[in-house]
Amino acid sequence: MMATIDIADGGMRVRFSSWERLAVWRDEVVVPPSAIKAVELVEEPLRRTRGGRAGALISGVLKVGYWGLGTGTRQLVSARRGVPGLRIEIDRGLAGLPFDEVLVSVPNAADLVGVLV
């Protein structure tokens, strides 16, 4: 199982699988459309994390949790090898969330990027 993304009214909801919830400490994340600053299709999301982490890592295969500790840009990550992803830059103040980016692998990332932009 992996995270899923639902789009409604220009906003985004990321739902995490039961085991991912242990690494991200939440069931889901809802980002209102007003808080979405940029959306990018990422072919290899595992390579887009940076800085320290709190979460699960299987080197070269999987990253789930929070990355960017100590960098000034916190990322909520659910990324897998071989699955494209979306990098959504958010305004944490408008979203009321403790991170600046959401980086999520989803098989239909190319279709979703057009809906969120």
Three-point CA angle 4, 73, 12, nearest 5°: 25
| Residue-wise pLDDT tens digits, 16-73 | 999 988 898 999 999 998 899 999 999 999 999 989 999 999 999 999 999 998 888 9
Which range of residues forms the domain containing residue 60? 4-114
Q: In total, how many domains does the chain have?
A: 1
Residues in the chain: 117
Q: What pLDDT does residue 88 have?
A: 92
Q: Mean of the pLDDT values across residues 100-116? A: 88
Q: What pLDDT does residue 117 have?
A: 58
Strand order in the sheet with 75-80: 36-42, 85-90, 101-105, 75-80, 62-69, 52-58
Residue ranges with strand state E in the chain = 4-8, 11-15, 28-31, 36-42, 52-58, 62-69, 75-80, 85-90, 101-105
Q: What is the mean pLDDT of the chain?
A: 90
Q: What pLDDT does residue 2 have?
A: 83
- Distance between CA 53 and CA 57 in Å, rounded? 9
Beta bridge partners of 29: 14
Exposed, middle or buried by CB within 10 Å (0-12, 13-18, 19+), for 21?
middle
